[in-house]
Structure 1
Amino acid sequence: MRYLSPADEPWASGYLPVDGGHRLHYEQRGAADGIPVVVVHGGPGSGNSAAHAVFFAADRYRVILADQRGAGRSEPAGRLENNTTADLLADLDRLRVHLGIARWLVVGGSWGATLAVLYAAARPECVRGLLLRNPFLARGADLEWFFGGAKAKHPAAWLAWAELGAPAAPGAMLPWLDADLHAASEARQAALVAAWHGWEGALAGAPARPLSARERDALRRRYRLQCHYFRQNCFLAENGILDASPALATAALPVHVVQGLADDVCPAAATRLLLARLPHASWDAIAGVGHDPFAAPMQEAIRAALDCFAATAAFPPGNRLPLA
């Protein structure tokens, strides 16, 4: 079986105009007559890439890679106006209709899993199933963990932010970051971006590395967009993801969750809460892997789940390791 490669060219691509002055970039890869699947990227603001197609068998799946508002190649880059969770969910359905797809498989990791759950709960008749990786529950507790709660576990990575004057009070990090990422000097913004990138990498289990000027500029746009969402609690009610998830069981949608046990960006403890609301879901817990979807064991588990779905329209039983 051949899986898609970043070297494979898309057979279609374009821009979809949506309201609020945004244009969404999308492309399609794989088999034009295959099972339609939309890959919902993380972030907010990270963008999609050809690398996200490598999980899919080239002759089985019609893979749609789309960039959310303000992210990736969508235009205008980094725009915050008319950019909310409700907008992103509506855009998913606009894209589905634009491409003439009745029902598609929805695959998302981290923030992409957040959107995938919300979309499937609202439009179950348009969804064949859900494959979620290291889901982000978007609660106040999850944001507080990322923006300070994890510093006792990752003190070396936190030091870069502390040296820039990061406030210690609960809830103070996001306003501080948001203000400086928009108004501080170019040098200070670059330092904040480097600190955030190093911190995120430490929690994700990724080694630190220097950033090019181009990477730094892209990350600055992404982090500004993340502050926009996170300061509004992702435009969701507290426990919005958990409260929406039982609708997936009611609709009898196949759901499979893959969780890296070494992930401190989206920890396994949160995934346990989600799975408790999804008693029909299957799952794989991957030891020694963090947030990286391309780590070999994670990639193997995702491919196995997708191959099973393509063959049977269901996911494998999973549950290979305890999440505790």
Structure 2
Amino acid sequence: MLVEIRDTRLYVDQRGPVDAPPLLFIHGGPGAGSYDFLAFQGDRLGRSFRLIGVDQRGVQRSDPLTGPVSERDLIADFEALREHLGIEQWSILGHSYGGRLALRYSAAQPDVVTKVVFENPGWDMVLASDSLLRAALPLLPGAEAPPHTGPATKAMWDERMAVIAQLGDRRMEIYTGPDSRGLQLPADTELSDEYHARSGHFHEQITSSASFGEPVLPYFAQLTQPAMLIKGEYDPATSTEEIELFRSDVPDGTYYHATGVGHFMHAEQPELYAQLVTKFLLS
């Protein structure tokens, strides 16, 4: 359903009992939307939670963007949605780029976010794109990593994503484990070109915002909630440096190394993933 939040309408998909513990899913991409995650986890996590998936402003089934957007806008939208739904506190789960937003949100609202799960997060855009390139370059003979120093920029991101785009149909090979090479993400074929165009425009706008290059790793030390990092064995996004910082700097952090899977554990091992998340959040 479309819900009026601040100056736009967000598409919100709720699964599970209304009186179950609330859990907000924050999608990645940027611009990936919540459709794929809910296809694999909506009914599973909905057994134990009031699972709330939202397409971020301008993404997929939400209203198109009419102006610029920043990560602060997205966090403000989550807070406004929580108030709209009458939820006092909730846990949050961020996948990929959504892990960056989940970290920002958890640090900013410690009294509202009770627990947080990060699945293969892209916290720092320079480190994440470094890690992605290291996974992609062995499949691209002759390709080179565009040099970059300093914080993330739009130009840096576009240059690095252009290299990864050279993988073409082989792109999913760097994102999945060996047993999941044929994984199909349903949004690719089940959502309209218009929805994909909205996501593309959002991607352009958010990567152009100053907020995209801001450092967020210092927020680790500010987390007061229990936090879990799920890292797939073959995931190309979360860097070794980020994992080490999470394990050393997060006061109440749990690290889970997911063997055999890549970037999409929620789709590659859906039952195990649901059990893992449920146990952590309800313990």
Query: Shorter-normalised TM-score: what interval?
Result: 0.7 to 0.9
CA spacing shift, 1:82–1:229, aligned 2, 3 Å: closer
Q: Does 1:266 align with 2:235?
A: no
Closer, same or farther: CA 207–309 of 1 in aligned 2, 3 Å = closer
Paired position in structure 1 for 2:83: 97
**Alignment partner, residue 88 of structure 1:** 74
Identical aligned pairs, as a percentage?
A: 25
TM-score, scaled to structure 2: 0.79
Partner of 1:292: 264
- In 1, the alpha carbon distance for the partners of 2:193 and 2:164 equals 7
1:290 deviation in Å?
0.4
SS in 2 for 1:230: helix
Distance 1:64 1:151, change over 3 A: closer
Is residue 90–residue 114 contact of structure 2 (8 Å, CA) maintained in 1?
yes
1:202 counterpart letter in structure 2 = E
Q: 2:206: which partner in 1?
A: 229
Show structure 1 runs of 5+ residues with no match: 1-12, 181-191, 313-324
Question: Aligned-pair RMSD on alpha carbons?
Answer: 3.4
Q: Which amino acid aligns with 1:53?
A: G
Give the secondary-structure state (helix, strand or coil) at the position aligned to 1:258. strand
Structure 1 counterpart SS, 2:244: helix
> Does residue 59 of structure 2 align to residue 71 of structure 1?
yes
Name the structure 2 match of 1:53. Answer: 42
- 2:173 is matched with 202
In the aligned structure 2, how far is the partner of 1:199 from the partner of 1:234? 31
**2:128 counterpart residue number:** 142
Matched to 1:226, the amino acid is H
Question: In the alignment, which of 23, 35, 47 is matched to residue 37 of structure 1?
Answer: 23
Pick the structure with greater CA Rg.
Answer: 1
Give the direction of change, closer, same or farther, for the CA distance of 1:202–1:34 in structure 2 (3 Å limit): same
**1:130-178 deviation line (CA, Å, top 9, x unaligned):** 11111111332323443x454433327xx8xx7xxxx964356645699
Mapped contact 1:23–1:69 kept (Cα < 8 A): yes
Matches within 5 A, 1:97-246: 97-146=83-132, 148-155=133-140, 169-170=146-147, 174-175=157-158, 195=166, 198=169, 200-205=171-176, 207=181, 218-219=195-196, 221-232=198-209, 234-237=211-214, 240-246=215-221
Q: In structure 2, how many angstroms separate the alpha carbons of the residues matched to 1:176 and 1:281?
A: 34
Select the structure with the greater relative contact order (CA < 8 A; seq sep ≥ 6).
2
What TM-score results when the alignment is normalised by the length of structure 1?
0.70
Deviation at 1:223, TM superposition (A): 4.0
CA contact (8 A) 1:140 1:233 kept: no
- Any gaps of 5 or more consecutive residues in structure 2? 149-154
Would the aligned equivalents of 2:145 and 2:160 in 1 still touch at CA under 8 Å? no
